[in-house]
Amino acid sequence: MLKLISILSCCIALLGSPKLIADEVLKLGMSVALSGPAKDIGQQLRQGAQLYFEYANNLPDRSHPKVSLMVLDDGYEPARTVVNTRYLIDQHKVMALFGNMGTPTAHAIQAILTHHQLPLLVPFTGADFLRSNTPYPVFNWRASYLDEANEQVRYLVDEQGHKAIALLIQADEFGLTLEKSFRQALTARGLKPKVTARFRRNSADINKALKLIMRNEVTAVAMIGTYQPLSLFIDKAMHRGFKGTFTGVSFTSSTALFAKLTSKSALMISEVVPDPSKCQAQLCELFRSLIHKQNLATSPQIFEGFLNAAIFISALDYCPRPVTRACLPGAMQQVLKKDPTIRTIFGLSDTENKPRVYRSYFQ
């Protein structure tokens, strides 16, 4: 009897030991564009997340579980996101989706997430429908698209004095969400868009939209889309003599857009992270060090993916073992509220919990 008690005590101790906790593997799934005209965005988000997860998994004194991130390509097409999500749930048995990319793609999988009560963590979108009263668990820290629209309208109207502003919009849920946000921001200043032009997602056919906008003699264009069609639009508009100002949201990928432009234009992109080459925090220094070792280019999207992973790993300290999917969103929220490094990076003070919007300018 004493021998049995001794064996049981030994087993209980082992179950709570750091080694066994560290040997646990948490499976996460990610569906992003790794191919197609928006591939640079998805590839950068993947690189950033993997950069931190690999660092955290290989820490010599690691006490948290390892993280396995399976990344699937959806080409920024909602139908493929649905297929990927079902595979990640049924075959890979993921405990959460992590860092998924896009508004229309997130919209397409809502029924699946609701049915499985699968957490959607740090999605790369500022869409309103993911920000409150969702029927499935969600955690996001990035500024909303309304926040970004307000920042762009502040720049265009309050600082630059523009009143004749066009909206160039991707024709899907992404575009509709931001069109609503821009109209709200403009209405607050007694304005409305002079013209609204649309183009298809994953399409470079912006000629009709360009003609419509140029006919209306606007002085600024607020653009909602990805880097490939927007770079074509800007270059063609400049070639036709447009002298005004362009803006775009963080989803566009400023790094990819700036790299594709062949014309010198007045362009501002709203961002949800500070400049990773300049931010002052220990996590920023770690990011720069790891980026240098891996010989990767720095971008806001890689930095965002990196921060997403860092928040996830820190959140594990707030979850009992074994870690359950139900714990993750609340634990990540605790990191956002309490972690001084994260709060410093996001510009949060003791009284301020609203993420800031930053800016990148095309030089």
Pick the CATH number of 145-271 from 3.40.50.2300, 3.40.50.1970, 3.40.190.10, 3.40.30.10: 3.40.50.2300
Tracing tokens 């920042």 back to the chain, one arrives at 151
Report pTM: 0.91
- Would you say residue 15 has pLDDT above 60? no
Structure tokens at 24: 């646990």
Residue range 184-198: mean pLDDT, rounded: 98
φ and ψ of 46, to 5 deg: -65, -45
* DSSP string of 208-229, one letter each residue: HHHHHHHHTT-SEEEEES-HHH
Residue 6 has pLDDT above 70, yes or no: no
Segment 90-96 mean pLDDT: 97
Higher pLDDT, 170 or 19: 170
Give CATH 3.40.50.2300 domain extents, the chain: 22-143+278-356, 145-271
**Taking a C-beta distance cutoff of 8 angstroms, is the pair 335, 342 a contact?**
yes
Contact status, residue 172 vs residue 224, Cβ threshold 8 Å: no
E strand intervals along the chain: 25-32, 66-73, 96-98, 120-121, 138-139, 165-170, 195-199, 220-224, 245-248, 266-271, 358-361
Q: Which one, of 136, 195, 205, lies nearest residue 168 by Cα?
A: 195
As a whole number, the mean pLDDT across the chain is 92
What number does CATH give the domain 22-143+278-356? Answer: 3.40.50.2300
pLDDT value of residue 349 = 78
pLDDT bracket for residue 316 (50, 70, 90): very high
